[in-house]
Amino acid sequence: MTSKTIYLLRHGQTQFNAELRLQGHCNSPLTELGELQAKTVGYVLSEFVQEPQDWAFYVSPLGRAVQTAEIICQQIGFPVERLQQDERLKELGLGDWEQQRVPEIKQNQPELNALADWYTYAPNAETFASISERIQDWLQDPTVPERVIIVSHALSGAVFRGIYANLDYQALWSQEMPQDAFFKLEDGKVTKIQCL
């Protein structure tokens, strides 16, 4: 496994998160709480990233991730113009369920309640093989420096951590996906850093 140090963050709460709507590849802006989460995570991250010029900062190109990353840049003193948007870090595409509310989806298909990976059952969703492939590609990319900050998403972040820590499929989907914490990935281990 890579010798890199990676700080993996999720974007702050969005309008759709607050409405319990799935986002996938579509987007909604951060709420006030989401902005506060981004500031708080950035403040805590600044204790770990003492010399921001020694780090690279990658972000999913989806608006909510970019909005979060820009707030974090301010908190840690990282130049916004050095942010690198990377398609490989995008959220799992959720097909026909994007913009739909989770309670309605699960009410109409109660069998989903028992499945940790229920997101992957969305009609026309991106496959697990597809998201795994793009994250593997990022992890094996020789151009990515040794010290990296990433802002991604709930599901792509869980897949990222799962692949990194070599979790089995069930364990991967059973991970938590917090917006008030981030993860340090180093030496094949994943450590949660709570912020609020």
Q: Give catalytic residue positions.
A: 11, 91
3-state secondary structure the chain: CCCCEEEEEECCCEHHHHCCECCCCCCCCECHHHHHHHHHHHHHHHHHCCCHHHCEEEECCCHHHHHHHHHHHHHHCCCHHHCEECHHHCCCCCHHHCCCEHHHHHHHCHHHHHCCCHHHHCCCCCCHHHHHHHHHHHHCCCCCCCEEEEEECHHHHHHHHHHHCCCCHHHHHCCCCCCCEEEEEECCEEEEEECC
